[in-house]
Structure 1
């Protein structure tokens, strides 16, 4: 995923807090607790304390935050009047959401629910586009279909309903959570701003995540994600600008708002453990390909338990030493095994920690 920043002044790159974004990410954690094991205690306690009516309404609206983070929760990025920033309070950001045009609000709200509808299409006035969206929504289930119908038929009523829902969440649990996490988020935003000012964009991005890089000419930011995309921070139609928003509830997600006609936003987690490697998509593919071969899986079973030499592995599996060496080379290139010398013997061993980060099912299988 790439973001064009050619000619973007440094002062138009900002690290900001967003109560509305953090609320949306906390609602994602409530609806997808499996994504956020570190929040298990908070999710359990908060879900148990929700009033039944609020829980039901959250279920109705969860298409806005379950699959990802709806752009309507970053309204400042879709407002073209001046250089908008996130509001200092949740109420200010909800006011910004109220200022979004109906077409922009509805299209953004239906994006994740209906399989990324064409954001350039006219949904409210074009019957064919509405029918197409409803057909996509039907494939997501009756609840999403009902929500899509309501959005298309009466956007003002849905906007009022959504604002009241988010205000009720603030009263029920988020205000307390925001008071707890806001100081840490503010400290992180100040730190990243200082890095940007004194050491440059590359250093600031490196401090956020190894998945973020910028080219030497400072014309393009690259985000290492499985989902491709391209956007610009210098669109004259909406004004230049790019915002980075730290999140406590968003961990481990690194999210990018890349909608045409919206200024790009990157939501990044704070407090995440340091990665021991680059964590790139290419490296992940290399490791998965290395482990996909049946013989290499068998070799991993031996190497997970104790170091072995090439000849020992060849004898155990009934293949030649050169064949073992070729498999070992693939596993070593992927960073999955370590090699050390003991006298005249060369011993190979599986890096269990690296494999564990790929998936516990695989590790449990080779250790079973």
Structure 2
């Protein structure tokens, strides 16, 4: 599982690291809509919500599917411009101007991404041009509720009107709360961008990606970047380059823009409480599967309290030593128990720290 980025032929100068005020505004809207995803932002969410104008709050709900699930690619419009790598604008106004440069087809397809599941990593028909895709988009929008249905109908009937609505809404959000937030965050994000750029210059792409997240790996012989995620996807840098965008509000989300025809983008959190080496999705699945067996759960009950030998566990549970050994092997492979030798005895004990992290690891894994 994961998202692969084919980087064959990628030139060092085609890798750009830059903060994006529009992407950060998208993440701010996401955090306000789904504060449970971002426990570290509770104080900020509470403060913004308390002073939010009721009219703006209502408008925020009109199109929240653009940022509630994660956030739409519309918040990274520079990636959709043809002609090679294009860095984000330095200000929100500049990025809104870039958003205006997307075609109506690009805008509508990106806006409907979470509604009608249009082809993402490959070329597919547009809802503006294909009646069947349009019908399916409206059917799925209706299943999500009347508000999303109404918005999707208006979007398909009159894209320029919705584009104007979104632009004004984002400007109002900037005035209401985001300008103050961005003024506080932009220095941190700019500093991180400089750091990653220096790493690119002195340690290459491998060094920069290692600093982005332990969930991002580079296979240089295969010319491939893999981002460990529950979803699957594929894209290629080709002649458009690679863009790295830091976010201060984004943890635990590590997102990859891999829309067909758009520049690949890694949107990664900085200054987060992320663990130095979080488990991969496969490791997480292995640990949860290991703990799902009732016998292993009972074994863990003992190993959480003290260290036991295989023979002691066999006697306590009324099982043979080979049966216990097989269960211990599963737990050890999953990294849930530690072993140490005392004379001729081997003692097993539950790694309580690893087990205690499973809840947060699971949440990070599914939200990454």
Does the TM-score normalized on the shorter chain lie above 0.5?
Answer: yes
Correspondence for 1:181: 185
Deviation, structure 1 residue 276: 4.8
Correspondence for 1:228: 232
| In 2, Cα distance between equivalents of 1:313 and 1:361 | 29
User: What SS is found at the alignment partner of 1:347?
Assistant: strand
Instruction: Please say if 1:154 is aligned against 2:164.
Output: no
Report matched runs for 1:184-223 at 5 Å: 184-217=188-221, 219-223=223-227
| In 2, Cα distance between equivalents of 1:217 and 1:322 | 42
Correspondence for 2:291: 291
Deviation, structure 1 residue 82: 5.4
- What's the CA shift string for 1:324-361, capped at 9, x where partnerless? 11111111111101112334432211111111222279
Query: What's the RMSD between the two structures over aligned residues?
Result: 1.8
User: What SS is found at the alignment partner of 1:113?
Assistant: helix
| In 1, Cα distance between equivalents of 2:254 and 2:85 | 24
Correspondence for 2:113: 111
8 A contact 1:257–1:264 mirrored in 2: yes
Correspondence for 2:76: 74
User: What SS is found at the alignment partner of 2:128?
Assistant: coil
Correspondence for 1:345: 345
- What's the CA shift string for 1:62-96, capped at 9, x where partnerless? 11111122111111010114542210100000011
User: What SS is found at the alignment partner of 1:359?
Assistant: helix
| In 2, Cα distance between equivalents of 1:117 and 1:322 | 50
| In 1, Cα distance between equivalents of 2:360 and 2:106 | 42
| In 1, Cα distance between equivalents of 2:335 and 2:220 | 28
Report matched runs for 1:36-47 at 5 Å: 36-47=38-49
Deviation, structure 1 residue 38: 0.7
From the superposition, tell whether residues 89 and 277 of structure 1 become closer, same or farther in structure 2 (CA, over 3 Å). Answer: closer
8 A contact 1:106–1:155 mirrored in 2: yes
Deviation, structure 1 residue 322: 1.8
Deviation, structure 1 residue 250: 0.5
Aligned length: 358
Deviation, structure 1 residue 233: 1.0
8 A contact 1:22–1:247 mirrored in 2: yes
8 A contact 1:117–1:133 mirrored in 2: no
Correspondence for 2:366: none
8 A contact 2:303–2:350 mirrored in 1: yes
Instruction: Please say if 1:132 is aligned against 2:144.
Output: no
| In 2, Cα distance between equivalents of 1:22 and 1:204 | 21
Correspondence for 2:264: 264
| In 1, Cα distance between equivalents of 2:325 and 2:130 | 63
8 A contact 1:250–1:268 mirrored in 2: yes
User: What SS is found at the alignment partner of 1:245?
Assistant: strand
Deviation, structure 1 residue 287: 1.3
